[in-house]
């Protein structure tokens, strides 16, 4: 993108609109409809399609566990997401300020150019002058953790843009069926795993999520649904965020992110304990029927344990980042509790069902 073009962005009102929800919930369909409606409203709008921008989203080559954990760790995938946001940031910066991006991992430049061209086309600019038509970025990704959405909010704040979120709620079964009818479906387990992790927008808990709506996309999009989205965007355009950082929000977001990461580490440790337990049960000639029961019980026990563990961590007031916690120690101590439960479950089954 040529630097001088960015000057056209000028003082036009602008907003970032996050479209979040499960795969096949209808995000791209909604985005297309909003684009059409936005053009009628005299807005310049574009979709930022993460699946196309980020190469090798790697749904094919990895196990379910890796695929999902990949999103948690500060890995390549996360860096890619940040590069997308840096591109948007660069779009809003004055050319003089723009240095070359420290792009460690590439996103698809052609796709990005396309996003921008939709905004800078002469016909998108001509009538009311370059600085008048509002600009709307529709960010199309799953955004299943609130921390992923918060990164977008921070960018909106930094650049004084409006910020809003549409959570596309689609009944799981419909998502699965729609996904399976696609030319390149993603594995159903990925969707199931994402359901478990999904943190839908929660304005009560996160004040920065207050400009969010839930759109039920189990059935076709209704006209009134589209109108709600347009009203939301319109309101975001009229109420840009203030770049002065709100420290309380920032801290809470950091704490959430940290807790998520610590719980993830505990989850990994528990999984190892469970597979050890399964091995022990097998070695003790537990019947296959009872093996299933062991698996279920251990699994349920793990879920409950991890939920409680996360609550406990968040109750500690003194940390905002992992460096504030002795993570290894905290995880080890907590996992010992699960290990104890695991042993009890195992002993019970082995003794009852030999
Ligand atoms: C969404 O719509 C479906 C079908 O119309 C309905 O069964 C479901 O209860 C709705 N869910 C919510 C959360 O409104
Ligand atoms: C949804 O839209 C499709 C295609 O536009 C149509 O065939 C179908 O009947 C619609 N379903 C409902 C419930 O309106
Ligand atoms: C563990 O429980 C989750 C739901 O809580 C389920 O999706 C998963 O398949 C279960 N795994 C095993 C090994 O039973």
Render 213-257 in DSSP notation, one character per residue: EEEE-SSPPPHHHHHHHHHHHHHHHHSPPPSS--HHHHHHHHHHH
Alpha-carbon span 25 to 19, nearest angstrom: 10
Q: In the chain, where does the domain assigned CATH 3.40.50.300 lie? A: 2-241
Length of the chain: 354
Residues 294, 299, 305, 311: what is their CA dihedral angle, to the nearest 10 degrees? -170
Q: Ligand 2: which atom is nearest the Cα of residue 220?
A: 1
Pocket test for ligand 2, best of 220, 221, 224 (most atoms within 8 A of CB): 220
List the structure tokens of 326.
């002795």
Rounded to 5°, the CA angle 224-131-233 comes to 20
Q: Ligand 3: which atom is nearest the Cα of residue 274?
A: 13
pLDDT of res. 59: 44
Ligand nearest the Cα of residue 64 is 3
User: Which residues are CB-contacts of 30 (< 8 A; sequence separation ≥ 6)?
Assistant: 19, 166, 168, 215, 217, 221, 229
The pLDDT tens digits for 80-121 are 888 899 889 988 875 444 445 555 557 888 888 888 887 877
In this structure, which CATH number among 3.40.50.300, 3.90.1150.10, 1.10.10.10, 3.40.10.10 belongs to the domain 2-241? 3.40.50.300
List the structure tokens of 177.
């069926």
72 and 95 in contact (C-beta within 8 Å)? no
Neighbours of 161 (CB within 10 A): 25
Closest CA to ligand 1's atom 11: 216
Closest CA to ligand 3's atom 10: 299
Lowest mean pLDDT of 27-36, 119-128, 151-160, name the range.
119-128
Q: Is the pLDDT of residue 172 over 80?
A: yes
List the structure tokens of 260.
């998520």
The pLDDT tens digits for 290-333 are 888 889 999 999 999 999 999 988 887 677 667 677 888 889 99
* pTM of the predicted protein model: 0.65
Ligand nearest the Cα of residue 216 is 1
pLDDT of res. 8: 46
Distance of CA 191 to the CA centre of its chain: 13
Closest CA to ligand 2's atom 1: 220
Alpha-carbon span 133 to 44, nearest angstrom: 6
Handedness of CA 217, 221, 224, 230 (dihedral sign): positive
pLDDT of res. 127: 53
300 CB less than 6 Å from ligand 1?
Answer: no
Q: Which helix (H) or strand (E) holds 349?
A: helix 327-353
Distance of CA 327 to the CA centre of its chain: 24
* Centre of ligand 2 from the C-alpha of residue 221, in Å: 9
């Amino acid at each position: 993108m040529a630097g001088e073009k960015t000057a056209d962005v000028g003082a036009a009102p602008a907003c970032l609109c996050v479209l979040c929800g499960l795969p096949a919930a209808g995000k791209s369909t909604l985005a297309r409809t909003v684009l059409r409606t936005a053009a009628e409203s005299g807005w310049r709008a574009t979709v930022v399609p993460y699946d196309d921008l980020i190469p090798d989203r790697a749904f094919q080559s990895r196990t379910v566990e890796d695929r999902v954990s990949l999103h948690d760790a500060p890995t390549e995938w996360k860096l890619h997401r940040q590069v997308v946001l840096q591109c948007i940031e660069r779009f809003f910066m004055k050319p003089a300020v723009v240095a070359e991006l420290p792009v460690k991992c590439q996103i698809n430049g052609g796709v990005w150019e396309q996003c921008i061209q939709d905004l800078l086309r002469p016909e998108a600019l001509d009538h009311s002058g370059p600085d008048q038509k509002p600009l709307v970025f529709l960010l199309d990704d799953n955004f299943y953790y609130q921390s992923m959405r918060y990164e977008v909010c921070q960018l909106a704040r930094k650049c004084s843009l409006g910020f809003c979120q549409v959570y596309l709620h689609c009944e799981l079964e419909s998502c699965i069926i729609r996904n399976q009818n696609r030319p390149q479906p993603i594995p159903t387990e990925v969707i199931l795993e994402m359901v478990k992790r999904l943190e839908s927008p929660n304005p009560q808990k996160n004040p920065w999520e207050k400009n969010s709506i839930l759109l039920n996309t189990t059935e076709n999009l209704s006209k009134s649904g589209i109108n709600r989205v347009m009203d939301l965007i319109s309101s975001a355009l009229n109420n840009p965020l203030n770049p002065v950082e709100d420290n309380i929000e920032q801290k809470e977001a950091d704490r959430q992110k940290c807790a998520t990461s610590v719980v993830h580490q505990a989850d990994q440790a528990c999984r190892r304990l469970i597979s050890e337990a399964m091995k022990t049960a097998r070695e003790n000639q537990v019947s296959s029927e009872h093996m299933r029961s062991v698996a279920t019980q251990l699994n349920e026990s793990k879920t409950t344990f991890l939920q409680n563990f996360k609550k406990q961590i968040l109750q500690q007031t003194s940390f905002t980042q992992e460096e504030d916690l002795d993570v290894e120690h905290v995880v080890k101590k907590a996992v010992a509790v699960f290990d104890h439960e695991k042993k009890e479950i195992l002993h019970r089954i082995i003794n009852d069902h030999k």
